């Protein structure tokens, strides 16, 4: 059945699309990262007055209606237009015109999306209509639009794609895992092109209250939102929830060359583990996230010395940042102190299941532009967090190999390796 496994095809990224709290579109996202812009603001999608947490990373000036047919606007979660916008940008960036393809060609393009909460905010709104009214606003498609699985179908239907259409939901590692599974389908010859990445939109009253109940979100920076997300800083006090969508086009190298496509990077390694420890926190040892990173490097056939940049999970919680730092040291040894690293969440917040994809998009920025994005708000580093996190100011550096680390609820850990194609 796995007849292509002995000779896997090389998998490259040829398209990127981003819809983020610091800008819509790949170029604006990268420019904002390089400039150290914060996308954290007072919540606009509902009135946060009276809520303990009043800030989040929302996408400003997003014309979500433009992504949907009028008849669909009532019936889908916000994740759908976010995902569609990023997917469409990635498709155009890759020079793909699905409308001009034959049926057989469209059957060779699949969709593999990662999400943590999927349509949870949509579900919350529908329940409000049912129990508080007006019931006439409730959608007849509440059930399919509330489930995770319909998210990839919306992209497949919008673009007329007939290949596989899957959703991965593994908490905060969802999109890292989705990108790997997409790459695997191409490597094994099951699909020729994949649209993959991650999306989440968790900014809703009930969801935010739930995060606060777990004491994982910061309450300390409502008056200074831009300073709230501060991974590895001694004054960090919790995550800043965020929405966003980061999508990629993956295809095999021979196809990219034949199409004369620009190639951002090659996907060369992946590793995943589980601490099997707790619903929301890591084991203090950091052994399993370290093992995921080691597995990814081994899969790519690389030693720690080959890594030029690490994009960290960096949630801005007391435990995660300390344990992740320890895990990186376990995985990379003494070389960990020589590698520049950064935490994208300091700028865009924590987009839940889209976290891994956001990190991949940031790593592609470093590989493509030679600029490593900073970890902003790192004013006074925690003594236990003593690596080179590129504090506050972007840094020019040649990046040929990037390691992207991701840690999720349920003690899940995933890491992926990207390499510049020489």
Residues noted as catalytic: 172, 313, 350
Paired strand residues for 253: none
Report the half-sphere exposure of 368 (CA within 13 A, side-chain side).
20
CA 114 to chain centre: 8
The percent of the chain in helix, strand and coil, each rounded to the nearest 5, is: 40, 20, 40
Per the listing, tokens 């966003």 go with 244
- What is the rounded distance in angstroms from the CA atom of residue 414 to the CA atom of residue 69? 36
Q: Identify the DSSP state of 237.
A: -
Q: Are strands 55-56 and 41-42 parallel, antiparallel or unpaired?
A: antiparallel
- What is the rounded distance in angstroms from the CA atom of residue 109 to the CA atom of residue 99? 13
Helix extents (H) in 63-137: 79-93, 103-106, 120-132
For residue 133, the tally of other CB atoms under 10 A from its CB is: 10
**Token couple for 376:** 């902003």
> For residue 20, which of 350, 373, 323 has the smallest C-alpha distance?
350
């Amino acid at each position: 059945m796995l007849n292509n496994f002995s000779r896997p095809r090389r998998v490259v990224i040829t398209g990127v699309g981003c819809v983020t709290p610091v800008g819509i579109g790949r170029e604006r996202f990268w420019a904002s990262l390089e400039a150290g812009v914060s996308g954290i603001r007072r919540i606009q999608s509902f009135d946060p007055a009276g809520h303990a947490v009043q800030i989040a990373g929302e996408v400003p000036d997003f014309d979500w209606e433009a992504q949907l047919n009028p008849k669909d606007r009532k019936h889908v979660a916000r994740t759908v237009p976010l995902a569609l916008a990023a997917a469409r940008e990635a498709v155009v960036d890759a020079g793909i015109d699905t409308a001009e393809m034959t049926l057989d060609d469209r059957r060779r393009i699949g969709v593999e999306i990662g999400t943590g909460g999927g349509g949870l905010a949509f579900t919350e709104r529908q329940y409000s209509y049912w129990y508080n009214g007006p019931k006439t606003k409730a959608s007849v498609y509440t059930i399919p639009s509330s489930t995770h699985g319909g998210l990839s179908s919306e992209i497949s239907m919008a673009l007329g794609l007939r290949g596989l259409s899957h959703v991965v939901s593994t908490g905060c590692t969802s999109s890292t895992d989705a990108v790997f599974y997409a790459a695997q389908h191409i490597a094994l010859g099951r699909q020729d092109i994949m649209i993959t990445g991650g999306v989440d939109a968790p900014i809703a009253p009930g969801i935010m209250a739930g995060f606060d109940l777990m004491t994982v979100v910061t309450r300390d920076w409502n008056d200074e939102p831009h300073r709230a997300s501060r991974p590895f800083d001694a004054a960090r006090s919790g995550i800043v929830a965020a929405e966003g969508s980061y999508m990629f086009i993956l295809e095999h190298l021979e196809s990219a060359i034949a199409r004369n496509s620009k190639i951002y990077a090659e996907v060369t390694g992946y590793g995943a583990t589980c601490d099997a420890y707790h619903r929301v926190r890591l084991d203090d040892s950091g052994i399993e996230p370290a093992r995921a990173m080691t597995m990814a490097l081994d899969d790519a056939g690389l030693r720690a010395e080959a890594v030029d940049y690490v994009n960290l999970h960096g949630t801005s919680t007391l435990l995660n940042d300390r344990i992740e730092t320890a895990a990186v040291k376990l995985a990379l040894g003494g070389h960990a102190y020589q590698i520049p690293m950064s935490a994208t969440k300091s700028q865009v917040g924590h987009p839940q299941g889209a976290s891994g994809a956001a990190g991949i998009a940031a790593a592609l920025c470093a590989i493509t532009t030679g600029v490593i994005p900073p970890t902003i708000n790192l004013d006074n580093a925690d003594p236990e967090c003593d690596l080179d996190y590129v504090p506050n100011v972007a840094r020019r550096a040649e990046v040929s190999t990037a390691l992207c680390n991701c840690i999720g609820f349920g003690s899940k850990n995933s890491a992926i390796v990207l390499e510049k194609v020489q």
